[in-house]
Amino acid sequence: MNLADLSAADLVRRIAAGQATAAEAVEASLERIARRDPGVNAFSVVLADDARVEAARLDARRATGETTGPLHGVPVAIKEEIDVAGCVTTFGGRGNSTPAAEDGEVVRRLRQAGAVIVGKTRMPEFGQWPFTESVDGGITRNPWDRTRTPGGSSGGSAAAVALGMVPVAIGGDGGGSIRIPAACCGLFGLKPTRGRVTSHPMPHLWFALGTTGPLTRTVLDSALVYDVIRGNVSTDRFTAPEPSTSFIAAAGFDPAPLRIGWSTRPVTRGIRPAREHVQAVQETADLLAGLGHDVREIDPHYPDPTAAFVPQFFGGVREESDLVEHFGRLERRTRQVYRLGSWVTDRVLEAALAAGERVAERANQVFTGFPGQEGVDVLLTPTIGPRPRPVGVLERGGPVSAAAKSAPMIAWTALWNVTGNPAASVPAGLAVDGMPLAVQLVGRIGDETTLLRLSAQIERARPWPLLTGDHGTTS
């Protein structure tokens, strides 16, 4: 088997057994990128020379008997918004021109664990939209159907993993930006609890909304990466308590029987899920019932997160715009968003954060229970509303048009950014259009371990299709 086809966990095991080297793993990844990225446009930068040097250094360390990390030799791609030393942190646009002097903390931890950074991946400017399209980077396409979007904003990371160019790519999620591309590209994507992963050198990511995490082809790979990158530094505005067990241990065994509530009702009124997504939720509910869980349809009584989400969105875009070197080089649409958000003062942001706490209290009643409705351990919903849209979504129109087109994509995801709950997009097979299906699992704040256990159980009971070859065949 080509090393590029292996999961991160399998690759680590093979290297540890002396059946492969970090250099061979990196070379397989670079060869796959060179062959498969044209026409998909997942990568903005490929760090081939640096990656080869780093892999050789890792192999030399291992040859001397030095203990290496849990990701030894694993090729990893990094979303454009995260600092990688020597690369310009573009945020998906042209606002910066000076390379970062040092790695962001997440990248530093990955390297310390033995991962090899092979490149950076595309995103829409500042991650504003659930479509990976930008003036500077062009259109990133879905590997399953290149006429469709891979979602966003971590669409480049998702496309890179779906095509086997890397087993792991780091993304970010401020309104669904890990889960939406995971759903569009047939991957596992867990948004962790707010504060689970450091945001250093930034004190926060879009205030209470954003967090960082991997997109992977397996649940175990996500658990492996989270055990490396989770934890905080003193400058993080938000933190999360340590879990009771490692994430990789959680992914290794089935959960005890759970109470699982399912619903296809949208948070945003007037948005209807695709028929295929309703069916995917219902079939997953049946699967989970067959696995011994107490599964029932419920009404989540969703609160409206608008007053909390919108100011933090505008505030996040404005803050990141103020930090770039060349404001005038930002996209016209971004500069329009900046002006539209001029009403978001520090006082407004603090009010939005307080509103978010009230939203979280109400939303989390789904886990504690409502009058006449018992609480659940996990909530099962669609991940996205429509099927993956044709590319070119952002080619016309301003921010109001882009927001209207984005609303059905984030209708089930953005609430959980406001509340800080962990939520995962889990593959659910293929639709008749040949594109992936997915469902979302939402857990209590701080309870990623239950989501990992349940997602891994689903993966074992219903293995999901993965792309193989260069033209979208599946296995």
Bridge partners of residue 423, in order along the sequence = 191, 442
Provide the angle, in degrees to the nearest 10, between the axes of the packed helices 8-16 and 22-36: 140
Cα separation of 69 and 98, whole Å?
31
Residues acting as catalytic residues: 79, 153, 177
Omega before residue 201 within 30° of 0, cis: yes
Cα separation of 150 and 143, whole Å?
8
Cα separation of 265 and 169, whole Å?
31
Residue 276 main-chain phi, psi, to 5 deg: -65, -30
Structure tokens at 217: 């082809």
Residue 102: CB atoms within 10 A of its CB come to 12
